[in-house]
Structure 1
Amino acid sequence: MEITGKIIAVLPVQGGTSRNGNEWKKQEYVLETHDQYPKKVCFQIFGADRIDQAAIQPGEELTVYFDIDSREYQGRWFTNISAWKVERPTATAPQSAPGAITPEDMIPTSAPAAPDAPDFGPANPIDDLPF
């Protein structure tokens, strides 16, 4: 699976020692999508080498490829979103000849403003059904 958006939070690195005596590290990040109704997704990268390789910073635009895994512990279910690949968009714009008209030149400078999204009031997790 994949998701694209902006990194809005980089959480502290967590680590420890496994039962076998091996050191481990993971870091979690929060990505916000650019949908009409943006969603926030917390994903993790496991392994110090992968954390260093990704070098994710707040404010970055990324496409994150991930796996979802859920497991049960003492009657409760926990879900992890584990990233296995991170891509940064390439911002290479084609160069045009001097004086040539580009598509950006054809965009009017004063576009009408889009209407604001409706406000449905505060979310109530107990009763959020529309009927």
Structure 2
Amino acid sequence: MELQGTVKRITEIQTFTSGFQKREMVILTQEQYPQPINIEFLSDKINLLDNVSEGENVRVGINIRGREWVSPQGETKYFNSITGWKLDKVTENGQEPTHAAPSQSASPVSGQNPFASDEDDDLPF
């Protein structure tokens, strides 16, 4: 899945006692009712946020993860998280700035059928 929006906030790297690291980014979606979406970048993916600044438009490849937790009282709760695995900056028109537009050939287009004059046609139909 992908999300696209404007970077609203980027947090500092959080390091836990186990050595696990994460960094979070909040993007504001670009729709009729914009939504602030918190996306976690884990372990080796935290470096993706190094070249992004608040206010930039980005496209993020995401995975949605869920987990189950049982409270000491025996109540089961479910939690979801969104983790990012890919990050691209985008321009105002929604295109990635690092990719060039495909070139179009300059050959003229005619309205004639190029196969209409084949008199040596051996096909039975």
Scaled by the length of structure 2, the TM-score of the pair is 0.63
Say yes or no: does 1:27 pair with 2:23: yes
Q: Does 1:38 align with 2:34?
A: yes
- The aligned residue for residue 119 of structure 2 is none
| % same residue | 30
Structure 1 unaligned residues grouped into runs of 5+: 95-131
State the partner residue of 2:84: 83
Match of 1:10 in 2: 10
Q: Which amino acid aligns with 1:58?
A: E
Partner secondary structure for residue 45 of structure 1: strand
> Which residue identity does 2:4 align to in structure 1?
T
Query: Does the CA contact (< 8 Å) of 2:67 and 2:80 recur in 1?
Result: yes
**Structure 1 residue 87 displacement after superposition:** 0.9
Report the Cα distance in structure 2 between the residues aligned to 1:78 and 1:2, rounded to whole angstroms.
20
Report the secondary structure of 1:17's partner residue. coil
Distance 1:46 1:63 in 2: 17
Letter in 1 for 2:64: I
Aligned pairs, how many?
Answer: 89
Q: Kindly state the Cα deviation for residue 54 of structure 1 after the two structures are TM-superposed.
A: 3.1
Partner of 1:51: 46
Any gaps of 5 or more consecutive residues in structure 2?
A: 71-75, 91-95, 102-125
What are the residue-to-residue correspondences of 1:47-126 with 2, within 5 Å? 47=43, 49-55=44-50, 56-74=52-70, 75-89=76-90, 90-91=96-97
Aligned position for 1:126? none
